[in-house]
Amino acid sequence: MKPLTSEWVAKAEGDWASAGRELRARKSPNYDAACFHAQQCAEKYLKARLEEDGAPIPQTHSLLVLLGLLGDIESAWALFEPDLRELTAYAVATRRPGATASRDDARAAVAACDGIRASARAALGLR
């Protein structure tokens, strides 16, 4: 694996751990943060996959833009389009006043991220 790909993976794993901690927190859980970190984990894994293939990585939080680029590499990623569409909203929406994530939102975001994470790790040859 390329060194920069490894860095993307390490950053993604940090977000994965943060999302899980916030979702499991018994005292003062921050479901907005769980959703945000789930989105960030997915974003960084998609960018890791692009990096490993040598594809350009745009500065975007849109998982759908990244999906479009990944589709040229592996068409199976299209199956994640609904999850990526849902997660993209958490890049910004719940970080500002006016929108708040519920526990169910956080559970769904982390579950969506889990599938994307597992597929990206497999594509990168990681356990």
Residue 118: predicted pLDDT: 97
Mean pLDDT, rounded, for 37-53? 97
Burial call 49-61: b when 16+ CB within 10 Å, e when fewer: bbbbeeeeeeeee
Top CATH class, 3-123:
mainly alpha
> What is the tens place of the pLDDT at every residue in 61-107?
999 999 999 988 888 999 999 999 999 989 887 777 888 999 999 99
Lowest mean pLDDT segment, chosen from 32-36, 42-46, 86-90: 86-90
Average pLDDT of the chain to the nearest whole number: 94
